[in-house]
Structure 1
Amino acid sequence: MICVETQHFNLTRIILLAIGLWPNEKSKFRKFQAILCFGVLISFVIFQLTALTIAKCTADYIKIFSSATFFSIAIFSYNMFWINGHHLKNILQQLQYFYNELKDENEVAIFKKYGHYFRQCTIIFILLGICWMFIITLLPIWPQIFGSVFYINESQLQSQTIQIMTEYFIDQEKYFYLILLHTNAAFCIGVTTWLGMGTMIIGWFIHICGMLTITSYRVEQIMTTKMSKNINLKNQIMIYNKKIFYAVEIHYKIMKFCKNTSSNIKYSHFLLLICTVSSFSLNLFGIFRNASLGDNEAILFHLLCSFALFLYLFVANYIGQEIINHNNHVYFTAYNSQWYNASLHAQKMILFILLRSSKACNLNVGIFVGSLECFASLIKTSVSYFTVMYSTEE
């Protein structure tokens, strides 16, 4: 007996607790923590947008919006989890219910295997997030380190280190380190929000893939189980019908769970995708524009942002493709089974699985359906917007 929340989602729980978003923690401290983190993100985007008042050219506007849209993704993600906290709690309870309903040792092993896959994915994304934050937070300090060696002027250093245009309506040279602290805090909270949101959603759908695999296993076991000669035909039919009923039941519950999970995040995730595509195009433009100017720090900054956005789009669509593939496997398993050897009643129940698995079981986000084809379309759209901006600049 395992607890899905504490064993499979333990690392995600720690991440979300750090920013006050874990749905099972509703203390006053957690609420204060959530308000503080959300306030840091909101205020940082506001101070970026106020820089529009001092922007002098189109390139400055693009630079401002490239970073503002990037942080807006974290704001949408934070807001989505904050508002839908009760839905997140229900989803975790539903996964625990699925596990408690498993009786076969092989089915329990399949569930644990997919839970192990999820933990491995979480560890990989945490390491990537730590490396990303380490590079970003040290990026403004590198010129300071080299400046102490080569005796570069302090004002020259500060002009080199600010990669994000902001306007605080104060003396930015005097309060440079406070502004840097605000920037790094926003980066850390934003990346932590991305990690928490991403790993939680990945965990849901990896477990859905595991349950679909269990459905395929149950369908395979229906017709491959050999009956004893001592069992009469009536009892044999009852055993077949019982096994088929369990397969039909779990597949129905999974389809309903996947639909409800997608509907809870559909509109919020749709806004995230729009913001991600826009930010990806703007950061691609930032890479090529700063490459022509020879600004290596700015190139690295936009390159890291573009990599994070590309990875987000790929992982979100890849997990959607995996759900489609697992659902198709249920269909082919039922279709290729020896259904013709079963009773007429059993054949009708197998037909339920064929009909349901022939329907879409996917990650539906507004007009987008998570798949590798959708990923290619989004990247193509982002590159098209970048091409238009770059040609206009030229």
Structure 2
Amino acid sequence: MHAIEERYYKINRIILKTLGLWPYQQSYLTQIHKILFAGILWTFILVQLLVFITTQYNINLLLKILSLVFPTLFGTIKYILFIIQADSVKQLLEQVRNDWRLLKNKLEIDIIEKYACNSRLFTMIVMAFCLLGVIFCTIFQLLPMILDIIIPLNKSRPCQIIAVTEYFINQEKYIYAILLHEIITVLIIAITIFGTGATIMMYILHACALFEVASYRIENAIEKNILAISDPRRERFLYRRIVHAVVIHRRAIEFTEFLTSTFMVSYAILIIVGISSLSFNLFQFLQMVTLTNNINEAFIFGIFIITHLIYLFFANCAGQEITDHGIKFFKATYNGLWYAAPLHTQKLLLFVMRKGKINVTIGCGSLFIASLEGFAMLTNTAVSYFTVIYSTR
């Protein structure tokens, strides 16, 4: 499995190690690493909220601060979540390794390798998008300084920080330190959100691979050459093949249930924070475009909105994939040669079909199910909150 892990899951391991979240790394330096990163995230939230102490309150100031506090809070929650759930993350990785060891059939190994390749490709694309977004935001943030070097004027161009913060120091004097704090925070948040998201997607695609293997086994459990065998041996062969399919299907369900139970509570919190964040950023983007004509900030808030929508789409698309692959097991059972099997085997397959009809889902219990319909619902909710905020400005 070590060679397989190096080939398919190496990027995920590097990302988690960069964040100090790799569950197999629990040294003293790693603990300092986690405290440092968590401290940077929490202090960035704090310095934004401290503005209310020194600045006269107004609704526009509140909404601008919240439009950046909520994305930071989202990334911070995800970071703390992976620290708290380190044992569960490790257990999920162990099960992935064990599942790879269970497969001996070449076609089944090809199936799980295909999904592992998709996971690796997804991680690479997501991290490339993440880093490009951070680079663009950083360039626009440092644009006045860059223009002072390329096209100097008689006086320096004013450098404005996107986030409204209060450090209780002279911000003009320590502008570079404040900018460094902001850029480092944005980088940590971006890698945390997309890196941990890619890891969860890796788990989901692995569960989809298990369902695919189970579907392949149950669909090919009854073959004509086995039906031609004499009765006692035929029953034994059929039972063995069906049991092998049911075992891998059961492992896929247990893996999905454990994944859901591990992140369910935090998933509910992240939905609330994420939808609120999208609503505030939609409002702030409209403010930048219609009232201030601040192209730099409008561009950055536009990137934030696109990032929110992409994250929501892929998170719900992953849940839809799990549900579709769970249903595929039932269809594979029905499409097999069950009608040509002995009566006892047909009765056994009825129980398998009943189990396959139960939808496998990811979400917050019965409150929310991750799916394409869920994506539409969350997007509509965010737009509704945005219109309410806009009407009260």
Shift in CA distance, 228/373, structure 1 to aligned 2, threshold 3 Å: closer
1:246-325 equivalences under 5 Å are 246-292=244-290, 293-325=292-324
Decide whether the 8 Å contact of 2:210 with 2:252 is kept in 1: yes
User: Residue 176 in 1 paired to residue 178 in 2?
Assistant: no
In the alignment, the residues of structure 1 paired with residue 220 and residue 230 of structure 2 have an alpha-carbon distance, to the nearest angstrom, of 20
> For residue 369 of structure 2, what is the aligned residue in structure 1?
369
In the alignment, the residues of structure 2 paired with residue 351 and residue 122 of structure 1 have an alpha-carbon distance, to the nearest angstrom, of 39
Decide whether the 8 Å contact of 1:4 with 1:92 is kept in 2: no
Decide whether the 8 Å contact of 1:248 with 1:352 is kept in 2: no
> For residue 108 of structure 1, what is the aligned residue in structure 2?
109
**Deviation for aligned residue 1:7:** 2.9
User: Residue 50 in 1 paired to residue 50 in 2?
Assistant: yes
Identity %: 31
Residues 330-365 of structure 1 show CA distances to partners (whole Å, capped at 9, x for unaligned) of 111112322122223322332232122211211123
Residues 106-129 of structure 1 show CA distances to partners (whole Å, capped at 9, x for unaligned) of 001101111011111011011101
**Matched residue type, 2:153:** Y
**Matched residue type, 1:77:** K
User: Residue 59 in 1 paired to residue 60 in 2?
Assistant: yes
Decide whether the 8 Å contact of 2:220 with 2:336 is kept in 1: no
**Matched residue type, 1:11:** I
> For residue 68 of structure 1, what is the aligned residue in structure 2?
69
Q: What is the aligned residue count?
A: 389
In the alignment, the residues of structure 2 paired with residue 109 and residue 328 of structure 1 have an alpha-carbon distance, to the nearest angstrom, of 21
> For residue 151 of structure 1, what is the aligned residue in structure 2?
153
Decide whether the 8 Å contact of 1:50 with 1:167 is kept in 2: yes
In the alignment, the residues of structure 1 paired with residue 190 and residue 154 of structure 2 have an alpha-carbon distance, to the nearest angstrom, of 32
In the alignment, the residues of structure 2 paired with residue 227 and residue 325 of structure 1 have an alpha-carbon distance, to the nearest angstrom, of 30
**Deviation for aligned residue 1:4:** 4.9
What runs of 5+ residues in structure 2 fail to find an aligned partner?
none
> For residue 338 of structure 2, what is the aligned residue in structure 1?
339
In the alignment, the residues of structure 2 paired with residue 320 and residue 152 of structure 1 have an alpha-carbon distance, to the nearest angstrom, of 57
1:159-170 equivalences under 5 Å are 161-170=160-169
In the alignment, the residues of structure 1 paired with residue 214 and residue 351 of structure 2 have an alpha-carbon distance, to the nearest angstrom, of 13
In the alignment, the residues of structure 1 paired with residue 19 and residue 77 of structure 2 have an alpha-carbon distance, to the nearest angstrom, of 14
> For residue 39 of structure 1, what is the aligned residue in structure 2?
39
> For residue 356 of structure 1, what is the aligned residue in structure 2?
355
**Matched residue type, 2:176:** Y
Residues 235-277 of structure 1 show CA distances to partners (whole Å, capped at 9, x for unaligned) of 1111111100111111112111111110000001111111000
> For residue 99 of structure 2, what is the aligned residue in structure 1?
98
1:239 to 237, 255, 268: 237
In the alignment, the residues of structure 1 paired with residue 13 and residue 232 of structure 2 have an alpha-carbon distance, to the nearest angstrom, of 50
**Matched residue type, 2:320:** Q
Decide whether the 8 Å contact of 1:223 with 1:338 is kept in 2: yes
**Matched residue type, 1:226:** N
In the alignment, the residues of structure 1 paired with residue 334 and residue 136 of structure 2 have an alpha-carbon distance, to the nearest angstrom, of 51
What runs of 5+ residues in structure 1 fail to find an aligned partner?
none
Decide whether the 8 Å contact of 2:226 with 2:237 is kept in 1: no
Structure 1 segments, 4+ long, off by >6 Å, are none
RMSD across aligned positions (CA): 1.5
Decide whether the 8 Å contact of 1:55 with 1:61 is kept in 2: no
Decide whether the 8 Å contact of 1:248 with 1:349 is kept in 2: no
**Matched residue type, 2:184:** A
Shift in CA distance, 60/225, structure 1 to aligned 2, threshold 3 Å: farther
**Matched residue type, 1:151:** L
**Matched residue type, 1:109:** D
